[in-house]
Amino acid sequence: MLSDTDASSVRQPKARTKKISLSALILLSYVGAICAGAGILMLPLSTVSGVSLIDALFTATSAVCVTGLTVVDTGTVYTVFGQFVIMLLIQVGGLGVMTFTVVLFLYLGKKISFRQRMIMQEVFAHTPRQDIYRVVKSIFVFTFLVEGSGALSLFLLWIPDHSFFDSVRLAAFHSVSAFCNAGFGLFPDNFMSYRDSAVLNLTICGLIVLGGIGFPVVYDVSEHFKNAKIGRLRLSVQTKTVLTTTAFLILAGMGLILWTESGNVLKGVPWGERIWIALFQSVTTRTAGFNTVDIGQLTNPTLFTMMILMFWGASPGSTGGGVKTTTLAILSSFTWSRLRRKAYVNLFKKTVPHDTLSKSVSLVVLSLGFIFTIFFLVLFSQEGLSGDVGARGEFADYLFEVISAFGTVGLSTGVTPKLNVVGKLLIITMMLIGRVGVLTFTYIFAGVESRGGIQYAEQNLMIG
């Protein structure tokens, strides 16, 4: 028989398991998927001539975190099976590992735990909902309908130049990659050969936008179109904010790219093609990572514009990363209200809660802190203490790389394959933080419980 001491030691692991926070559970689900994916990608069946552990881990992380940064060429290094595994990892990562678990449990008739329900609530709903399971099911239906439509469009584009099997493979892979905002491509030059194709531009941009505006927005719009009377359409503040901010970022990015590249990569290019290039890069820069021009040939003002777009990223509850469009809208409205000496922050005739405003400020500050820290460590890992300043010209390239990883974008100026093992591990960490979410990642260590703290007498400080 076990003594009381032995019995308590046996029960202890179970008690610890129950104490795992929702934030830690989300992180562990992604880490588990990454490790499993890396293991499969190292199998002889997955590659043409083998791949190292760090490169397999990097690829798996990039796929699960729907980033698109690669240290090896996906189309030539990995076999058809390996490419299928990457596509599956992208799909799982795009919709969320826990989401797939919940849907599988529902399909098998298993009971969903309260913790799993809370995760779904946190990811897919901005307000508490009783029909969260119906929301999740509709998300899966919407996802596969959109990806199927995109794949069909791309199949019809590529069937004249490729075999039936290759056309199906290319269409399915790029449709999933685009909708999940992953940016993985199977062509050596990405989509540069199709930069003037209306079908490719509209299909890929449409998939990226639908995947990046967030499932709560898609569900809200579809429900209101089904139930609301004509002329009486009412959308939530969340939906209005996301749609407005998304449209602003796309148009602003497009205009800036047209301007900053007018004397560079767009010089001599017909205006119709210029519009396609600028639109495509503005849409894909925020979270997807495809490209129709050589990113390494862009001017510094354009790269800076892209960094800003990558930082803000997609919208909450979407397949994309970044600080999110709603955060930009809230902070912009907050700044405008303070300039006008207004006490409250309002969006679409609704007041933003103080807690939401505080989280938005904290999110931006923490995000910049993570970016600067990882950027410094990447620079140090590449240059070290040797005093070698040969890589100084790549300062902007590495900053672009880190922000791209944080926003789960996947665009690169070409320095990804140059990273050493430490640099790759740092970018892996950045991709994971970007996909899990800065606040979620921080809550793992700081906790989510509200602590009253100590309040002292107030005293003003000079700022500005």
pLDDT band at 246 (very low <50, low <70, confident <90, very high): very high
* 20 contacts 115 by C-beta, under 8 angstroms: no
DSSP assignment of 15-75: HHHHT--HHHHHHHHHHHHHHHHHHHHTSTTTBSS---HHHHHHHHHHHHTT----SS-HH
HEC letters along 236-263: CHHHHHHHHHHHHHHHHHHHHHHHHCCC
Average pLDDT over every residue of 395-416: 91
> For the chain, what percent of residues have pLDDT higher than 70?
82
CA angle (304, 306, 308) in 5-degree steps: 75
N residues, the chain: 464
Ranking 42-46, 170-174, 316-320, 426-430 by mean pLDDT, the lowest is 316-320
Give the closest residue to 238 by CA, choosing from 124, 96, 146: 124
User: Which one has a higher pLDDT value, 461 or 271?
Assistant: 271
At 185-242, the pLDDT tens digits run 999 889 999 999 999 999 999 999 999 998 888 888 887 777 665 555 578 898 999 9
Average pLDDT over every residue of 82-101: 84
Give the closest residue to 371 by CA, choosing from 330, 414, 400: 400
pLDDT band at 430 (very low <50, low <70, confident <90, very high): very high
At 150-173, the pLDDT tens digits run 999 999 999 999 999 999 999 999
d(CA 68, CA 87): 11
* 264 contacts 299 by C-beta, under 8 angstroms: yes
* 236 contacts 223 by C-beta, under 8 angstroms: no
Domain residue spans in the chain? 21-446
Q: What is the pLDDT of residue 122?
A: 57
Half-sphere exposure of 77 (CA within 13 A, CB side): 17
